[in-house]
Structure 1
Amino acid sequence: MSKQTYSIIIGSGSYIPKHVVPNQDFINNEFYGPDGLKLTKSNQVIIDQFEQITGIRERRYVTDDLLTSDIAALAALEAISSAKIDGETLDYIIVAHNFGDVTANSSHSDMVPALASRVKNQLGIVNPDTVVYDLPFGCAGWLQGLIQADGYIRSGDAKKVLIIGAETLSRICDPHDRDSMIYADGAGAVILAAIESEEPVGIIAHKSKSYANELTYVLKMAKSAQPGYMEDRLFLKMQGRKLYEHVLKLVPAIIKECIAKAGLSIDDMDKLLIHQANNKMDEAVLKQLYELYDLKSTSVDIMPMTISWLGNSSVATLPTLYDLIERNKFEGQSFTPGKMIVFASVGAGVNLNSVVYRIPFNEQMSN
Structure 2
Amino acid sequence: MTIRAVVTGVGHYLPDRVVENAEFEKTLETTDDWIRSRSGIERRHFAAEGQTTSDLATRAARAALADAGISADSIDALIVATSTADLTFPSAATMVQAELGMTSGFAFDVQAVCAGFIYALANANALIVSGQAKRILVIGAETFSRIMDWTDRGTCVLFGDGAGALILEASAGEGTKADRGILATDLNSDGRFRDILYVDGGVSKQNTGFLRMQGKEVFRHAVEKLASTAITAMEKAGISSDEVDWVVPHQANIRIINGTAKKLGLPMERVVVTVQDHGNTSAASIPLALSVGKARGQIKSGDVVVTEAIGGGLAWGSVVLRW
Q: TM-score, normalised by structure 2?
A: 0.94
**Structure 2 residue 241 is the aligned partner of structure 1 residue 266:** yes
Q: What is the match of residue 112 of structure 1?
A: 89
Say if 2:115 and 2:310, in contact at 8 Å, map to a contact too.
yes
Match of 1:220 in 2: 198
Return the offset for 1:16: 1.1
Moved more, 80-89 or 305-314: 80-89
1:321 paired with 2:289, answer yes
Question: Which residue of 2 is the match for residue 356 of structure 1?
Answer: 320
Residues 250, 88 of structure 1: alpha-carbon distance in 2 compared, 3 angstrom cutoff: same
Structure showing greater Rg: 1
For residue 29 of structure 1, report the CA deviation from its aligned partner: 1.7
Matches within 5 A, 1:107-256: 110-127=87-104, 130-178=105-153, 179-198=155-174, 199-213=178-192, 215-222=193-200, 234-256=209-231
Q: Secondary structure at the match of 2:70?
A: coil
CA distance in 2, matches of 1:154, 1:124: 26
- Structure 1 gaps of 5+ residues are 31-41, 102-109, 224-231, 291-297, 360-367
Match of 2:96, as an amino acid?
A: V
Q: Where in structure 2 are there 5+ consecutive unaligned residues?
A: 202-206
Q: What is aligned with 1:38?
A: none
- Give the alignment partner of residue 335 of structure 1, picking from 292, 299, 307: 299
SS at match of 2:191: coil
- In structure 1, how many angstroms separate the alpha carbons of the residues matched to 2:200 and 2:110? 22
| Other-structure match for 1:306 | 274
Whether 1:71 aligns to 2:56 is yes
Distance 1:337 1:43 in 2: 43
Alignment deviations for residues 207-266 of structure 1 (CA, whole Å, 9 cap, x no partner)? 1111111x122111238xxxxxxxx65211111100101112111111111111111211
Q: Secondary structure at the match of 1:17?
A: coil
Residue 99 of structure 1 aligns to a residue whose secondary structure is coil
Determine the C-alpha separation between the residues in 2 that align with 1:145 and 1:77: 18
1:200 is displaced (CA, Å) by 2.1
Report the equivalent of 2:46.
61
Measured in 2, the distance between the counterparts of 1:55 and 1:62 equals 21
Number of equivalenced pairs:
315
TM-score (norm 1): 0.83
CA distance in 1, matches of 2:198, 2:30: 25
What value does the CA root-mean-square deviation take over the aligned residues?
1.6
What does 1:31-110 correspond to in 2, within 5 Å? 42-44=29-31, 47-101=32-86, 110=87
Instruction: Look up the equivalent residue of 1:10 and give its one-letter code.
Output: T
Give, in whole Å, the separation in 2 of the partners of 1:134 and 1:339: 29
Structure 1 consecutive aligned stretches of length 4 or more whose deviation exceeds 3 Å: none
Amino acid at match of 2:188: K
Question: Any idea what SS the aligned residue of 2:286 has?
Answer: helix
Residue 106 (structure 1) aligns with: none
